[in-house]
Amino acid sequence: MEHKHSLDKTISEPNLSTAVDDLNEPRFDYNVTSRSKRKRSNEELGQTDFSDFRQEIKDLFQIWSNKQDVQLQKQDAQFQKLFPILNGIQEANTSIETTLNFLAEQNTEVKRKVELLEIEVKKKDEHLAILEERLEDSLRMSRKSTIEIKNIPLDSKETKDGLISLVQNLAKTIDLPLNGADVKDIYKTKGSSEKKTVIVELNSTLIKEDFLKKAKLFNKRNHSNKLCAKHLGIKRNPDNPIFLSECLTPKAARLFFLARDLRKSKGYKYCWTSFGRVYVRRDDTSAIIHITNESTINALMKD
């Protein structure tokens, strides 16, 4: 019973001095009401700071937005100034494109006309070449029985009869029977030189070929006494050499000149004419080449 009384006494009579001491002593108790009040104060502070930060962000964005609006307005103003220029450039480009298309069409038309002209010119060149060849054949035929005696020291007063006598003297020298009736025409070329060329047109190609053949044979047999002025009966400058050949057309004469140059340059053994045509041959075993034009000469020069 005494023990129960002591317990009740303890419960019903608290130690006030101890309680007072506890109140006077500072301490922190996280379970008291002051803890919840401090937490609310921090939350309110955090909310205030965030609100301020958000407001600053809004203000900054508004400033940036205002600057962007000003910049856009400036750009719009610049674009408004550029639009007429761009339109002008576009119109100019359209005009240029139209012009280029027109020029392209014109160029195509010009090309077509040029191609037609080239075809026409080619045909005309071919036709001209045919005509030239026909003319050459005609000239060659007209000279088929004609010979030339070059480098003759003639008197300016020589007549046709005197020229015929000279030719007959030459024919006698090379052992060729020839009378005045065999000579169809004879004349000397014009020029200031004392040494002339005599053109002798005979009555037949056979007489012409025989004349040239016997003259060549005479020179071959008489190396020290080849045909010269004295064989014509000319006493003035009697040792002046003379030369016999076919009477070539101007074209054939030009080709013969180039062929002789080819012979010297490339070492061809033979170069001659026959019936108004020019031939070359490199040696005794090679083929005979007919010189028809200067292109043939140029090709042989490159070999």
Residue 241 belongs to domain with CATH number: 3.30.70.1820
One domain, residues 186 and 273? no
| 179 and 199 part of one domain | yes
pLDDT in tens, the chain (303 residues): 444 444 444 444 444 444 444 444 444 444 444 444 445 455 555 556 667 777 778 777 778 777 777 777 777 777 777 778 878 888 889 899 999 999 999 999 999 999 999 999 999 999 999 999 999 999 999 999 999 999 998 876 788 999 999 999 999 999 999 998 999 999 998 766 778 899 999 999 999 999 999 999 999 999 899 999 999 999 888 999 999 999 999 999 999 999 999 999 999 999 999 999 999 999 999 999 999 999 999 999 987
Nearest to 245 by CA among 106, 150, 126: 150
Looking at 247, 265, 285, the residue that finishes a domain is 247
Q: How many Å apart are CA 197 and CA 153, to the nearest integer?
A: 9
Last residue of a domain, one of 223, 247, 271: 247
Whether 204 and 280 map to the same domain: the answer is no
Question: Which pTM value belongs to this model?
Answer: 0.60
Strand boundaries in the chain, DSSP class E: 146-153, 183-188, 195-202, 243-246, 270-274, 277-281, 289-291
Question: Can you tell me whether residue 232 is helix, strand or coil?
Answer: helix
Q: Same structural domain for residues 214 and 185?
A: yes
Residue 50 lies in a domain: no
> Is the torsion defined by CA of 170, 174, 180, 186 positive or negative?
negative
Q: Are residues 205 and 294 in the same domain?
A: no
Query: Are 187 and 253 contained in the same domain?
Result: no
Distance, in Å, from the CA atom of 207 to the CA atom of 205, rounded to the nearest integer, reads 5
For residue 46, give both structure tokens.
């955090």
Residue that is last in its domain, among 214, 247, 280: 247
